[in-house]
Chains A and B, each alone.
Chain A
Amino acid sequence: MSDEGAMRRIRPIFTEDEAYFWTTQPGDPLRLARCDDCELFLHPRYPVCRRCFSRSIGAAPVSGYGEVYSFTVNHRAWNAEPDPTYVVAIVALDEQPGLHLLTNIVGCQAEEVRIGMRVAVAFEADGDLRIPVFEPVTE
Chain B
Amino acid sequence: MTNYLRGATAFIGLGKTAVSRQPEMTFGGLAVEASRRAIADAGLRPNDIDCLIAYTRPTEMHTQGMVDGLDRASVAYVQEGLGIETLRHHADVWGPGANAFAPSLLGAQAIHGGQARYVLVYAVLGRPLKRKFGELSAREWGGAAQFALPYGFGNNVQTIAVFARRYMHENGLSREDLWRAIANSRKWAMRNPDALLGEWLSYDDYMSARMIADPMSLYDCDMPVFGAWAFVIAAHDDAARAPKAPAYISAIQLGQGPRPTVWELWDDYTVMAPSYAGRDLWENAGVRPDEIDVAQIYDGFSPLIYYHLDAIGLTNGHDGPGFMRGILEGDQPFPVNTFGGSLGYGRAQGASHLYEAISQARGDAGDRQVADCDVSVATMGGFMVGATAVVTRERRT
Contacts and interface: CB of A to CB of B under 8 A. Distances in A.
Given A44-B262, A78-B152, A70 B267 contact: no
A51 interface: no
Contacts of A10: 133-134, 149-150, 152
Contact of A78 (B155, B162, B214, B266): B155
Given A72-B165, A72-B216, A73-B213, A9 B132 contact: no
A100 interface: yes
Interface in B128-152: 132-134, 138, 141, 143-144, 146-152
A25 interface: no
A82 to B, nearest CB: 13
Interface string A97-136: 1101111100000000001000000000000000101000
B154 interface: yes
A103 B146 contact: no
Contacts of B146: 12-14, 18, 44
B348 to A, nearest CB: 24
Nearest to A111: B214
B267 to A, nearest CB: 3
B266 A100 contact: yes
B200 interface: no
B158 interface: yes
Interface in A1-59: 7-14, 18, 21, 43-45
A70 B169 CA distance: 9
8 contacts: A7-B152, A9-B151, A10-B152, A70-B163, A71-B162, A73-B211, A73-B214, A79-B133
Interface of B: 132-134, 138, 141, 143-144, 146-155, 157-158, 161-163, 165-166, 169, 210-216, 262, 264-267, 269
Interface of A: 7-14, 18, 21, 43-45, 69-76, 78-80, 84, 86, 88-90, 92, 97-98, 100-104, 115, 131, 133
> When A and B form their complex, which 4 residue pairs have the shortest distance between CB atoms, in order from nearest?
A98-B267, A72-B161, A70-B166, A73-B214
